[in-house]
Amino acid sequence: MRRSRTHFVLIAVLATLALSALLPATAGAATHKLGTGTAVITLDPFVAEFINAAYPFFPVAPAAIAFNSPGPRVALPITGGAWNTKPHPHGTFLLKGGLFWVHYAGTTLETFTLPAWRAGINTTAGWTALVNGTREAIFDETLTGMHATVRTIHGHKYLQVTGVVLAYNATYVSAFDSAFGTTVPIDTPFGTATLLARLK
């Protein structure tokens, strides 16, 4: 039986559509949706000076802090976000939790809280939190050592971003100084972040 040229073109188109449906949704995409994961910030040794100076800090749930091996670190759950590969690698990770600091001025307890963190990697917004109820950038970031890779863990694909170096910015320093009547230098190192989130 002879088939028309149109018939074969139609078969080719349908085959192409079927193949596309079988490919992962993230293949070749410029924007990737993120699922759950964890952001871990390995703290800079300077952080110990905060504690020694009587400004200890604690996690805002569900964030967590650990001081055992491999070293002091803060962990915050990732609840979603998006990662873009074009025109340059950048994205936003939605986090849960934050940190709060305490200090005694005589017998008076003073506090400073930064809840509701978001991690903006190589974005205009940057790393933000609620500062006195308003979302503000709290860290400057250095990305010269940043790497973004896709890993397969237990059959699922994850985006891992490493080497994001964080330092206190002017907004953080101003709010901290106002809360405690002290002085923290701008660009004082905070730590280095590694973020791991499942790709949707």
124-147 confidence digits (pLDDT tens): 999 999 999 999 999 999 999 999
In whole angstroms, give the CA distance from residue 162 to residue 39. Answer: 10
Q: What angle do CA 136, 32, 83 make, to 5 degrees?
A: 30
* Residues β-bridged to residue 143: none
- The set of residues, in sequence order, having a beta carbon less than 8 Å from that of 184 and lying 6+ positions away, is 168, 172, 173, 176, 177
Q: Which of 24-38, 104-118, 169-183 has the lowest mean pLDDT?
A: 24-38
Tokens coding 45: 């040794």
Q: Label residue 29 by pLDDT band (50, 70, 90).
A: low
Q: Which of 67-71, 130-134, 136-140, 195-199 has the lowest mean pLDDT?
A: 67-71
Cα within 13 Å of Cα(154), Cβ side: 1
Quick one: how far is CA 168 from the chain centroid? 15
Residue linked to tokens 């703290």: 43
- Inter-residue contact 82 to 91 (CB < 8 Å): yes
Question: What does pLDDT average to over the chain?
Answer: 86
Tokens coding 193: 């972040």
- pTM: predicted TM-score of the whole model, two decimal places: 0.82
Distances (CA, A) of 168 to 31, 34, 37, 188: 29, 26, 24, 5
pLDDT at 1 over 90: no
pLDDT value of position 28: 54
